[in-house]
Amino acid sequence: MSNDILKELRELTGAGIVDIKEALTEAGNDKDKAMEILRKKGAMKAGKKSERAAKEGLVEAYIHPGSRVGVLVEVNCETDFVSRTDDFKTLVKEIALHIAAANPLYVSIADVPGDVMEKEQEIYKEQAKGKPEDIINKMVEGRVAKYYEEACLMEQPFVKNPDTKIKDLVAQAVGKMGENVVVRRFSRFVLGN
């Protein structure tokens, strides 16, 4: 177990040294496998921390070059100490930039109104008309999942790294900072709209 690998995994994941050593041991010193183990543990930590109140944080303004698109986003954490860290500020800026680029309509799946989803499902069923019922159901299910990925911020692939969804970016931040992090709300402004 080299110190270089420990240092690299610490920088990439923000995990503690003990956790990194355990992950490397479990992965047989395979750095990529250890990284995957640490990411899973980080997601588990994020799940545990999601129940804790997040009442501090930042409101970030992002104006896209050319001043035609602007975003205000509120991201909360548990303490003002964390809200002042560079890691948290960077996360909030990245989320604001993503909102400007990807134009989500809602923060999460829970925010999508029921009548909107009913209408979407009707459209998808109409488009699949004439096919067997089980095929229609699978097509509707797939298109609903695609709709969520396009319309919900937390489900969208991050514009700077499409392999990572915004919810994964937030979960990584929770694992690194040790606090619950919540994207509370946002507004996106487009000149002339």
In tens digits, the chain (193 residues) has pLDDT values of 567 777 777 666 666 677 778 888 888 888 778 877 776 766 445 444 445 566 789 999 999 999 999 999 999 998 889 999 999 999 999 999 999 999 999 999 999 998 988 898 888 888 888 888 888 888 888 999 999 999 999 999 999 999 999 999 998 888 888 888 999 999 999 998 7
56-63 and 69-77 beta bridge pairing:
antiparallel
| Domains present along the chain, CATH in parentheses | 3-49 (1.10.8.10), 56-108+152-190 (3.30.479.20), 113-150 (no CATH)
Which residue in this structure is represented by tokens 């970016």? 169
Give pTM, 2 decimals: 0.70
